[in-house]
Amino acid sequence: MNVDGSAYSNDLLLTTYKADVNSKADSGAVYLIKNIDGLSGAKDLVNLNNFDVRWNGGAATDSLGYTIGSGLGVQLVNVDGSAYANDLLLAAVNADVNGLTDNGVVYLIKGIDGLSGVKDLSDLGNFDVCWNGSVASDKLGSTDYYGGNAGLGVQLVFD
């Protein structure tokens, strides 16, 4: 993938949906690592110097970045007409929002090429827009296969 407009795809997104971050079990995390073509050796993601940005799930059991099948629970998109895709859609399918259980949430984060550090999604300043599932067990953003229906996860549709 290419989030910073370089001449070729040399950036990487990694998901760890079972990550325990900030003492929140299974909140999940998504990492952006830029310019991987110049890297070598083993990189431990505990070290802040080994990634450019990390987004943490907002609460315990959010499962940020969980995907099965299509892998569309994390998607790089271009929603602002930039010359390249530098916006990110992230699903937290098990998020409990507005007093509901497992209704899920999908976040839009614009301009990720200009971000750095750790971004906890419990902070409203770390995303541009979020959509919450409307009823309990919606699992908004899920790409899993439930009851014969494959979830579409997160997809950008052009009209």
Query: Which tens digits make up the pLDDT trace of 101-126?
Result: 999 999 999 999 999 999 999 999 99
CA atoms within 13 A on the CB side of 10: 11
Q: Which range, 7-16, 84-93, 115-124, has the best average confidence (pLDDT)?
A: 115-124
On whether the CB atoms of residues 98 and 67 are closer than 8 A, the answer is: no
Backbone angles phi, psi at 52, to 5 degrees: -90, -45
Count CB atoms within 10 A of the CB of residue 33: 18
Query: What is the DSSP-derived secondary structure letter of residue 52?
Result: S
What's the rounded Cα separation, in Å, for the pair 136 and 92?
14
The rounded distance, in Å, linking the Cα atoms of 19 and 34 is: 21
Q: How confident is the model at residue 158 (pLDDT cuts 50, 70, 90)?
A: very low
pLDDT tens figures, 47-73: 999 999 999 999 999 999 987 766 667
Q: What angle do CA 44, 120, 19 make, to 5 degrees?
A: 45
pLDDT of residue 150: 47
Q: What is the pTM of this model?
A: 0.87
Q: How far apart are CA 86 and CA 123, in angstroms?
A: 21
pLDDT at 151 over 60: no
pLDDT at 77 over 70: yes
Q: Is pLDDT at 41 greater than 80 in this prediction?
A: yes
- Residue 81: how many CB atoms within 10 A of its CB? 5
Between CA 67 and CA 21 the distance in angstroms is: 19
